[in-house]
Structure 1
C-alpha cells in the first residue's frame, strides 16, 4: 500500500497540515498509521467531511420569484 505524509495530504486536500493531523488523531482517516512520530496516510483515501460546517440544502421555493 502506498502512503503519503501529512504535508502531501494537506496539499492534495487544500487544508493545513495541522487540520490533517487532527483528522488522524481523531481516527477519522481509516488506514492512517503513526510510525516513528510521523503520520502515514493511504494515498487513495478521500478527505473526511469537515464537521465545522453543516451542509445547507436550499429549498427549491427560496429562489422562485412571486
Structure 2
C-alpha cells in the first residue's frame, strides 16, 4: 500500500498539515499509521468532513 505524509495529504486536500495531524490523532482518517513521530496516510483515503461548522445554525 502506498502512503502519503501529512504535508502531502494536506496539499492534496487543500488544508494545512496541522489539520491533517489532528484528523490522524482523532482517528478520523481510516488506515492512518503512526511510525515514531510520522503519520502515514493511505493514498486512497478520503478527506474527512470538517465538522467545525454547522451551516444549519446560520
Q: Is TM (by shorter chain) over 0.5?
A: yes
Q: Which 5+ residue runs of structure 1 have no aligned equivalent?
A: 57-66
Matches within 5 A, 1:1-66: 1-56=1-56
**Structure 2 length normalisation: TM-score?**
0.90
Given the two structures, how large is their TM-score scaled by the length of structure 1?
0.80
Q: Which runs of 4+ in 1 moved over 2 A?
A: none
Larger Rg, first or second structure (1 or 2): 1
Aligned residue-pair number: 56
Q: Which has the higher contact order (CA 8 A, sep 6+)?
A: 2
